[in-house]
Amino acid sequence: DVKVTQSSRYLVKRTGEKVFLECVQDMDHENMFWYRQDPGLGLRLIYFSYDVKMKEKGDIPEGYSVSREKKERFSLILESASTNQTSMYLCASSETGGSGNTIYFGEGSWLTVV
């Protein structure tokens, strides 16, 4: 079975802390994604990566950075957490190629910044 694993389901962090959200996929996928999900706004793409050490900004990259040192792992970093980054974060992965490829999601990480 396809598996995208996010390391933490629930986190509470203080304003100004550096936060790491980790994601691992076991499908040898080239593409990996970080989304943010907020009520009424759907899913918004923060960053994506189409290869090791490669990354591209999505729609809302401000306040975030990412790291992809190994193919199976994609990390989202909040350099200095703020309360407006309280949200559900979803990691995903897919094969490269045609537009019909399925994207597989992790179960999500609920982050609360206080």
Residues that bind other proteins (CB under 8 A): 4, 31, 33, 40-43, 45, 48, 50, 56, 58, 90, 92, 94, 96, 98-108
- Bridge-based pairing of strands 109-113 and 10-13 is parallel
For residue 37, the SS3 value is: strand
Q: How far is the CB of 83 from other proteins (least distance, A)?
A: 23
For residue 54, the SS3 value is: strand
Residue with smaller CB distance to other proteins, 58 or 63: 58
| Cα–Cα distance, 86 to 111 (Å, whole number) | 5
Start-to-end Cα distance in the chain: 37
Q: How far is the CB of 61 from other proteins (least distance, A)?
A: 12
Q: How far is the CB of 79 from other proteins (least distance, A)?
A: 23
